[in-house]
Structure 1
């Protein structure tokens, strides 16, 4: 009886041998995520200008009321299907985590220095691979952690103009925001990937939850702001609601369904760079030599992390 033929070994995937269309699609996802990072980087200057006149909760309420109305209009124009029950539940859960991230982050920034806030919130680059590893019970490449450390060191240099002060309540709130944001990104990946959920439906549900939470927290302040805002303040709120929320959240939810949470987090880790660039140009702030070095380290860490995460995700499964 002849012996059975040996099973051929699975082909080794190579980034250069992938179909051109697949590589173009991956680069397109990365590009859109970078645009989200730019929008969020610019949100600091816009939010800082608005919070000088009204409270944090009022700004967040108006921002997400505008976001919800815009998303509802988009939903009606595109005639998207109605959200199923499970899809709606997922949207509500993600909306609560997103609301927690923004309220912790915004109040934390108001209670600490820009140096501490920029350093602590960037730790999400390190936290997300950890939460993803726990959630999916997979091993994250060591290079991803090294890349995260490099990026955090870069942020330290980038925002080291005033030095690192002793931790305050604001520091702890920003740290909590970084932890919750990493959990939120991982939850989006775990709850939506492979289930065919509509990114628009999920984003609309999340935005509606945030609008309800923030408005109920200070509805009197919201009513006062509506009657007292001038044209410039409304422009700032519209920018936060449309560019930093509608565009950003739609792209983030869609992109996480196309790639991994760690890759999304690494690309989002470039947010401090765009915040500094916008601050030095529009806000006319100064950038020291250490800041330039920090920006270079963030770019290096992001690139190394992306390369390592891509190779790990596309590696062939071991043969049985």
Structure 2
């Protein structure tokens, strides 16, 4: 039976979100080569916060207050930490490595969530986690085993912080009715203020000396990778299953690999390709195992399956746009 056009449109848009997220690593690497890490991050988030602020104004979104505002601001701080680590990492390693290594957050997040829920994951999940770690070793080996370089280590640290951010987002925002767009706007404002403060006096010269290609990267990261991707995923996930959305948006590391090699001209040897395949496969397997575990717990307790857009990745309502570099 032929699928309806709206369903196809949803799939195409979700794949587009994954594609721009995957391409964000190369764009970030090119941008910070011109501006420096702090200035590049500041420019990206000033643009994103400004655009989303206009959207919130047009939609007359009600801003969070009281405890909701505090929670949004705290999540903005952790979001800023993720972005800073990712961007600093991609500056020192390849865009391909960064795009694949950050997907380890898919493995780390369910572990943190299981600890918070006091419900340990099945052993098969940790087999997938070990496979992901083996994939990392192959990816960064450069043809022979070695420790990750500083950029690789920063991106792995970003994956850990992202896992903490996603877990905290789910617990802190559960049961709240604050506008999703407004919460994300607060987070982006915090990110913009924090990165601008860190950039300090370096920001103005970075803006003045930015090339046309650099401005294109700023617009791509600020508008497409943040505002466009978030609005599209928010629209799309309400029109398809959480599982399908998770699978389609989970193709991000595949796009990161493709963009890094095809457009960035980055070389990935056979050990690196094997490592990339292991990371991607282990991430998908880990998601599937965690999802089945959560469903079985829900059925056992007689509760509903509270599946989010992407288990172990992000709750759309809680975390807003992905924290890409």
Q: Same fold by TM (over 0.5)? A: yes
Q: Alpha carbons of 1:287 and 1:217: their partners in 2 closer, same or farther (altered >3 Å)?
A: closer
Unaligned runs of 5+ in 2: 1-6, 303-325
Secondary structure of 2:120 counterpart = coil
Superposed displacement of residue 249, structure 1: 5.0
Match of 1:317 among 285, 295, 300: 300
CA distance 1:266–1:95, change in 2 (3 Å): farther
Three-state SS of the structure 1 residue aligned to 2:35 is coil
Describe the shift of the 1:176–1:268 C-alpha distance in structure 2 as closer, same or farther (beyond 3 A).
farther
Aligned: 1:217 with 2:205: no
Q: Distance in 1 between matches of 2:46 and 2:269?
A: 39
Larger Rg, first or second structure (1 or 2):
1
Counterpart of 2:107 (choices 94, 107, 126) is: 126
d(CA) in 1 for partners of 2:19, 2:94: 22
Q: CA deviation at 1:209?
A: 0.2
Tell me what 1:76 maps to. Answer: 57
How far did 1:35 drift? 4.7
Match of 1:99 in 2: 80
Aligned to 1:137: 118
Q: Supply the RMSD in Å over aligned alpha carbons.
A: 3.7
Distance 1:102 1:71, change over 3 A: same
Structure 2 CA distance for partners of 1:295 and 1:105, relative to 1, 3 Å: closer
Over 3 Å counting, the alpha-carbon distance change for 1:146 and 1:34 in structure 2 is farther
Map residues 170-319 of structure 1 onto 2, 5 A cutoff: 170=151, 172-249=153-230, 270-315=251-296, 316-318=299-301
Quote how far apart the aligned CAs of 1:266 are.
Answer: 8.8
Return closer, same or farther for 1:182/1:303 CA change in 2, 3 Å cut-off: closer
In the other structure, the counterpart of 2:31 is: 50
- How many positions carry a matched residue from both structures? 292
- CA-to-partner distance for each residue in 1:92-134, whole Å, 9 max, x for gaps? 0110001111212322344467787567544423321221122
